[in-house]
Chains A and B, each alone.
Chain A
Amino acid sequence: MSLFRIGFLPLVDAALPIIAHEFGLAKAEGVAIEMVRDPSWATVRDRLIYRQTDAAHLLAPLAIATSMGLDRPAVPLGAPFMLGLNGNAVTLSTRIAAQLEHREITLLGRAFAALAKSEAQAGRKLRLAVVHRYSSHNYMLRYWLAGCGCDPDADVEIVVVPPPFIADALESGEIDGSCVGEPWNSVAVERGVGVMIAPTTQIWSRGVEKVLAFRQETLTERSEDVAALIRALHAAGTIAADPAQRGAVAAMLARPGYIDQPAALIERALGNRMVLSAGASPTAIPDFLVLHRETANFPWRSQAMWLYSQMVRWGHATLAPDGFEVAAGVFRPDIYRAALASTGAILPGASAKVEGGIAQPIGVSSVSGRLIMGPDRFFDGRLFDPDRAAAYLSEN
């Protein structure tokens, strides 16, 4: 059987390949999966580009940065399948959270901006942690702060802390807040050291997150196997979205070889019911983590382009004439469509869309019938039109 070694970090959104493996879905498609757990994104990336793994659970912006060769020689990666949307949250230390009374995302952001500025003036710049330079966490956090009048490069300090250390760092005062994926917000909340103030779904309600990345050459050389793996992952999505399977999935992810944290904490993100502060009762947060619904697994080229716009905006990449095209080329909707063509899966006809344009769920036509698109608004109501990407940049 054709084997895919898949690198991953202990996070809830590594669920689909794990389910595909554990529920025998990969085997049913004639491929085998071996999950390779690592403690840092740098190592997940290195194992992929130096062929210790065949695919990786990877931050979408990191896949783009690697393909562009931003900090190192470029290795072209391709992402034909998204492992989910959203799933992160901003968690502040209990001390800072107590000083912010608003919870509506814009008012909260403005209150935070005011606090951050006054702390900075007093010489106590607040430190916020993200999980990697090239992470959606970093770009969502920056987008929100900047949109609320807080300059992320001047009014606060943004640092990198690996997810499993977020709770420790909040407790020791090393950081004042973080933007991290689950279950690490819940771990901090449970320990009483953090308050979850803003799920990133409130910043961008259909935010691009992790991808399943391959070396581009693997996509060509093993195209049949890759297609089989995509079908297995799509089937895994159906299980992840089934409330009846939630307990079993959480228990499976909780194992020491995967996330190694209590199943009860993992289940919160799977069920979109988050405990925001220690001892509070759960709050329903619609679309906190979208692992499969609608077109969550479809690699929209426009989402890669939005990420590139943010990389340029914050000086992480220089604006190249073909930059948007290169970024979009990392996402491979063509492979997604070809793999799922005969399965009855919903396949959008377009490969790009205006991001942020849907306020209410709407039905649109697709290759295989009606498709419901959920709201994908940014908190500030801005639109990202992939046909006017350069103009979008100049509006900042």
Chain B
Amino acid sequence: MIEEGLRETGFSDVVTLVGRVGLVARIAALAPDVVLINLENPGRDVLEESFAISRALARPIAMFVDQSDEAAIAEAVDAGISAYIVDGMRKERIKPILELAVKRFNAFSRLQTELAEAKSALAERKSVDRAKALLMKRRNIDEPAAYALLRKQAMDSGRRIAEVAEALVTASALLGDDL
């Protein structure tokens, strides 16, 4: 997503690296101006070590440019990204990259949250359907009646319909009923 966004903004030379082994060698071969990395990536310490070494070899790479960027950096950390920037790269060029990455990363997290919510909604609907089927079979009632029963139980016990349905499905599985 970040890669796509960067390309749209006119940064054509974007490479995404995956995997821990050989990461540093690949970065060295690519010689990038900026490295963006997820804070959750365990390879960060490895990367910083290699940057510290390459500094000594007069290929200076520094994390962030200077302290005047503190707000932008804090925003990036909040979003879950860290950036390593080749020293000497002009600040006007770095800012849009970082800003875009933050925007994309936030959008990505939102998307993931929405996906997780959608998944759990789907799972909930499944258990409600199964609970209804159970009730229809055991009590010999129709679907609206089964649903009304679930809803009443949920209201009486101060729980959500999906929770009541889940409890019923679990209990019925334990008791050996089959659908």
In the complex, what's the smallest C-beta–C-beta distance from A7 to chain B, in angstroms? 11
B48: which A residues are within 8 A, CB to CB?
A: 42, 71, 132-133, 160
Across the A-B interface, how many residue pairs have beta carbons closer than 8 Å? Answer: 73
> In whole angstroms, what is the CA distance A101 to B41 when docked?
38
Interface: B44 (CB within 8 A): yes
Stretch at the interface among A113-121, A161-169, A331-339, A362-370: A161-169
Q: Is the CB of B77 within 8 A of A47?
A: yes
Q: Is the CB of A40 within 8 A of B78?
A: no
Q: A163-187, CB under 8 A of B: which get 1 and which 0?
A: 0110000001010000000000000
Q: Classify chain A: how many residues form its interface, as a range.
A: 20 to 34
> In whole angstroms, what is the CA distance A42 to B41 when docked?
10
From B53, which residue of chain A is reached at the shortest CB distance? A133
> In whole angstroms, what is the CA distance A39 to B78 when docked?
16
A160: which B residues are within 8 A, CB to CB?
A: 45-46, 48-49
Q: Is the CB of A73 within 8 A of B64?
A: yes
Interface: B52 (CB within 8 A): yes
Known: A40-B41, A71-B55, A72-B62. A50 touches B46 (CB 8 A): no
Interface: A223 (CB within 8 A): no
Interface: B28 (CB within 8 A): no
Q: Is the CB of B66 within 8 A of A42?
A: no
> In whole angstroms, what is the CA distance A43 to B42 when docked?
9
Q: Which of A39, A72, A133, A315 contacts B64 (CB 8 A)?
A: A72
> In whole angstroms, what is the CA distance A38 to B82 when docked?
14
Residues of B within 8 A of A (CB): 20-21, 39-49, 51-52, 55-56, 62-64, 66-67, 73-74, 77-78, 82
Residues of A within 8 A of B (CB): 38-43, 46-47, 50-52, 70-73, 131-133, 159-162, 164-165, 172, 174, 315-316
Given contacts A42-B82, A46-B77, A172-B21, 15 further A-B contacts (CB under 8 A): A39-B42, A40-B42, A41-B44, A42-B48, A43-B82, A46-B39, A47-B39, A47-B77, A52-B78, A72-B64, A73-B64, A133-B48, A160-B45, A162-B42, A164-B42
Q: Which 5 A-B pairs rank lowest in CB-CB distance, beginning with the nearest?
A: A39-B42, A42-B44, A40-B44, A160-B49, A162-B42
